[in-house]
Amino acid sequence: MVPQAKSHWLAALSVGIVTAALASGLAAALAGQPQSGHPAASKIHFEDVAKAAGIHFVHNNGAFGKKWLPETMGSGVAFLDYDNDGWQDILLINGMDWPGHVRHHTTLALYHNNHDGTFTDVTREAGLAVEMYGMGVAIGDYNNDGYDDIFVTALGQSHLFRNNGNGTFADVTRQAGLWGPNEFSTSAAWVDYDRDGKLDLVVGNYVQWSPETDIYCSLDGKNKSYCTPESYQGASIRLWHNRGDGAFEDVTRKAGLFDSTSKSLGVAVLDANQDGWPDLLVSNDTQPNKLYINDRNGTFSEKGVSSGVAYSEDGVARAGMGVDAADYDRSGFPSVIITNFSNQMVSLYHNERNGLFVDQAPQSEVGRSTLLTLGFGCFFFDYDLDGWLDLYVADGHLEDGIERVQPRVRYAEPPHLFRNLGNGKFEDVTSLVGAAFAAPRVARGAAYGDINNDGALDLLVSTSHGPPALFRNTGAINHGLRIRLIGTKSNRDGIGAVARVTAGSDVQSEMLRSGSSYLSSSELILTFGLASHTQADKIEIRWPSGRVDQLTNVSADQIITVKEDAGIIATKPLAKH
């Protein structure tokens, strides 16, 4: 997904000249159309509170004029409750200066939630002031001790930080058997693929690149630009199996996942066929996307092409970046979003429930609105708590001189917030939720989490070589219910569990998942919007172990903690939003 050079860049450019003109007229026409008039949705406002909250962080991509490939990729963000105090903390991944061109030393940053709208930088005290060219992050309790651990992907050596349970972390990469691979690792996710109660780890890898193998590319024939990934060899994802003794073993080939042609940027976990076993969706850049269906015996079968998610409608492998999967239409089956390059529009693959996915974007507002933008982080979430999953896309180009080639395309771009209308359609409400939210930025990673325990989901967005944005969600008037899971026979986080919530005639379901978006990790809590309903009449939780727990008449506007085979063990009212 690097600004296109050679065949890929020229193809995108020729298409872009036409689509830019079409999109210009289309945007003008759409500008006159009425936006959402829904009273609940119209009150929502996203305010950037990063600076006021005490988050003073600037991403460092190390750029010093050489236009090296990793500099364009940005970094991930995460919400996590690392000290189990019931408040979401923030983790920001960082790059570093290149050897021989060091101006200052930078590390990732951990910010503790002070429960009053502010955060404190506790990186050094927590033992996380480790310098690396960090890319992505995955949060999960791999040793089932009740404290979430941190896996950071990187250019070079990725790192596993074990949570010691006392506010500090230990780098256990070597003793966990994860030391050695020198790769360009991107997104990652924790997943119990064999349902043995222990979290395994899937890691996406981009291309085979090093400063020594960097290739010269140019947008204008005069100046060096960032090359397309087509210029480099691909790299396989890796699957690390949790042995249960604190260490992992590489089972990529054994599981049938080895594929050195992939150029992976996004990883999502889903149950595509609803058989109770987690499948893997990998978004690839200029290579076909991969859908790995779990064979339920420790192996996977690749079904990207046969399922319809590998290519665009016209059979082109697009520049897949971010990815997410969720049941946005209450069909009982997860559909998929994948962000792509400018002039390619976002992919919105609807699950037809027969093993096939159909891209709805070209016929929808989602496709029309994203035609010119370049998307990265993305996810489904219910921002207005009306019971229908909405859609967020973080945008930003890769080449700061793109306007020289495509005048209608910008380096810094506004995001997209699509409100789910409940009839299989979305509307773009970006301009209605705040000027700061809609402001152009060079966005990359994105995650959601509730920073003030009011039930309304807030957003955390990284900026390439810039400061992050923390958008606090205010104005929500609908009821909501948050569910925290504790596995016993299943993994402690309950990752892979599916909650099905019934309120009146409304039935919705969500899987608790690690990964998704781009390089980022959202909170490990399920949030259900209940609209005007004051209770959930029924909640059914299907755990990875196969156990099914059922709850009835659960009041809205609270966070409940549900333990496998024990039911609700704790409740806490949500702050008034």
Please write the tens of the pLDDT for every residue from 167-193: 999 999 999 999 999 999 999 999 999
Q: What does each C-alpha distance from 209 to 71, 185, 227, 392 come to in angstroms?
A: 12, 11, 11, 31
φ, ψ at 181 (rounded to 5°)? -60, 125
Confidence band of 39 (pLDDT split at 50, 70, 90): low
Average pLDDT, the chain: 92
Range with the poorest average pLDDT among 107-116, 259-268, 313-322, 532-541:
313-322
Residue 261, SS3? coil
φ, ψ at 73 (rounded to 5°)? -85, -20
Q: What's the pLDDT at 577?
A: 53
Q: What's the pLDDT at 20?
A: 39
Confidence band of 314 (pLDDT split at 50, 70, 90): confident
Please write the tens of the pLDDT for every residue from 426-462: 999 999 999 999 999 999 999 999 999 999 999 999 9
Average of pLDDT values for 141-164? 98
Q: What's the pLDDT at 217?
A: 86
Q: What's the pLDDT at 11?
A: 42
Confidence band of 42 (pLDDT split at 50, 70, 90): low
Confidence band of 28 (pLDDT split at 50, 70, 90): very low
Count other C-beta atoms under 10 Å from residue 470's C-beta. 24
| Length of the chain counted residue by residue | 577
| H or E segment and range at residue 367 | helix 365-369
CA distance 234 to 361: 28
Between 507 and 35, the higher pLDDT residue: 507
Average of pLDDT values for 313-335? 95
Q: What percent of the chain has pLDDT over 70?
A: 93
Q: Does pLDDT of 206 surpass 90?
A: yes
**Nearest one of 132, 289, 266 to 206, comparing CA atoms:** 266
Amino acid identity at 459: L
Q: What percent of the chain has pLDDT over 90?
A: 85
DSSP-assigned letter for residue 23: H
Average of pLDDT values for 527-544? 98
Q: What's the pLDDT at 220?
A: 73
**Nearest one of 265, 204, 309, 225 to 8, comparing CA atoms:** 225
Range with the poorest average pLDDT among 32-46, 128-142, 398-412:
32-46
Q: Does pLDDT of 366 surpass 90?
A: yes
CA distance 346 to 348: 6
Q: Does pLDDT of 118 surpass 80?
A: yes
Q: What's the pLDDT at 226?
A: 86
Q: Does pLDDT of 36 surpass 60?
A: no
**What's the Rg (C-alpha) of the chain?**
22
Token representation of residue 121: 């930088």
